[in-house]
Structure 1
């Protein structure tokens, strides 16, 4: 019989997520995954810059205590907000470590982010994702997000998704 792996979902603060853990997971998902340039990551994935974006929610493996996934809810008042308007929230930096994929953690993070945004009385959630992140597009669409536009930044095309809450 195969052992069941269990996970704990909560805020980064409650799960006592360290600065190095934040940087490591984002580098593994985005840089090693080929989605973010290593030099750019040095700046945008610094722990203080990540924490300044907004409310960080994480999934931690209960057995190994390893950080398995992350998502950030960014208020329109945050300097990191690109798309959210008053009454809305922006979802950023959703990521699940490759070795934990296929266990529904991305879906859990998205569902929890939506639940938190609804609890905070937000009217809409918006996000932007690279065109090459096809698995992410499927995840967002399966959770009710619709593609509503696109933009280009630093030579990469980003798709914009939103969901009314």
Structure 2
């Protein structure tokens, strides 16, 4: 079965919010009912301030999602001028191990390259080992000077991927 990445449709926003929150809750990354849980569920808001992407199978079933964010936008956390970032990468438990997270991350990298930005930056929790492995395999390097704490008990690690310009169109 193939997987396609595309922009989310408004009719999918509620399901995307549920998928995102469920992925973070299932992995013990966020407490149920917390402010961040509510943020994860607001896919409609993310779509209005970022490019909300989804991965779907041949039948159109949602497998995962990510938000591609421009520096300076409402959802930007660590990006600066000339950079983009992606946030809230989530893959449904049933689709894990199929490369869905990699496809979503690569779609954001490709979009950033097409936008002409010089780098993609991200931040991730210290306990998200599978995410760290994915980002390392994509060529991201640690950016410790931008590590930060959204709340005192949570440390987010920053990563950066330098981009080469897209080749000119033929």
TM-score (norm 2): 0.86
**Which shifted more, 118-127 or 104-113?**
104-113
| Alignment match, 1:163 | 161
Change (3 A) 1:17 1:133: farther
| Alignment match, 2:20 | 26
| Alignment match, 1:59 | 55
- RMSD of aligned residue pairs (Cα, Å): 1.5
Q: Does 1:133 align with 2:128?
A: yes
Runs of 4+ in 1 over 3 A off after TM superposition: none
Change (3 A) 1:133 1:9: same
- Structure 2 regions of 5+ residues with no counterpart? 164-170
Q: How many residues align?
A: 158
Tell me if structure 2 keeps the 8 A contact 1:89–1:125.
Answer: yes
Q: Of the candidates 79, 96, 101, which is equivalent to residue 96 of structure 2?
A: 101
Offset, 1:68? 0.3
- Structure 1 regions of 5+ residues with no counterpart? none
Offset, 1:22? 1.5
Tell me if structure 2 keeps the 8 A contact 1:56–1:71.
Answer: yes
Change (3 A) 1:162 1:19: same
Q: How does 1:109-148 map onto structure 2 within 5 Å?
A: 109-148=104-143
TM-score (norm 1): 0.89
Tell me if structure 1 keeps the 8 A contact 2:140–2:160.
Answer: yes
Q: Does 1:35 align with 2:29?
A: yes
| Alignment match, 2:64 | 69
| Alignment match, 2:167 | none
